[in-house]
Amino acid sequence: MTFWRTINTQAGMLRVMLTGALFSASFTASAMVNEPSSAVLTPYEARYEVLRGGSNYGEAVRSLSVTDGVYKLYTETEISLLFLSDRRRFWSEFVLENGRIQTQTFAYKRSGTGRDKGFSGIFDWQQKQLVNRNTTQPVAVNIVQYSMDEAANVEQLRLDVQNQAQTDFVYNVIDEKGQADELRFQRVGEEVLTLPYGEITAVKVARVRENSRRETDYWFAPELGYVLVKMAQREDGDEVATLQLSHIEQ
């Protein structure tokens, strides 16, 4: 019994690590203060280590490119624990309209131990509706209010933290199931981090949750164009997983 309790506990931990995903990090579209006109989204490819208790549990990648004003984002997180595995991938194409992200298409796939999952959506801005690409049926959600997918919204937060006067962030997102959600964040301040990449100063942002045992923090580095360099999840004060930048190309 002790062995199986241990296995079940570790399986639960693995699910928590990737629920809401280390890389979807759900932020989105209605910031309280407009970002400065100098705020930009620069292309990059970043690689990360996923750690827990100092041990390496996996790796992740996040890349952003732009061609003719259309941004293409790809994220992937892969974690293994004993005989359990979990791989999550997001694809997103979006444009910037007056400093706000508007998703054009996005897709999510989860594979590994257990049942595979996925969703693929098209933001039809002419008809102002979200279309499930697999069923070709519209989804009952207001895309004028919920204008971006949850992977792309990290890039929106990346823009918004460049405005030093802005301390609170409220976002509306479409999650990996094609459902609407609202998330809140708060600027904490600057910290000097020691990462596999090296020592770097970053802006810390905390997710604001009510009546939750989970805590999630994010760090964005000004000297790297405010790219995400660290993310940490805790539950009941205990570390669940920490993602740290190891390499970046810009």
In order, the DSSP letters of 40-86 are ----EEEEEEEEETTEEEEEEEEEEEEETTEEEEEEEEEEEETTEEE
The predicted model scores a pTM of 0.85
pLDDT digits over 169-220, tens only? 999 999 999 999 998 999 999 999 999 999 999 999 999 988 788 889 999 9
Find out whether 73 and 25 touch, Cβ atoms under 8 Å: no
Residues 91, 63: Cα–Cα separation, whole Å: 10
pLDDT at 238: 83
Structural domains of the chain in order of their starting residue, each with its CATH number: 24-249 (2.50.20)
| Residue 115 structure tokens | 């049942």
Cα–Cα distances in angstroms (integers) from residue 106 to residues 71, 113, 155, 174, 223, in the given order: 12, 24, 14, 10, 29
- Residues 6 or more apart whose Cβ sits within 8 Å of residue 174: 103, 106, 121, 130, 141, 143, 146, 148, 149, 150, 180, 181
pLDDT in tens, 104-155: 999 999 999 999 999 999 999 999 999 999 999 999 999 999 999 999 989 9
Residues in the chain: 250
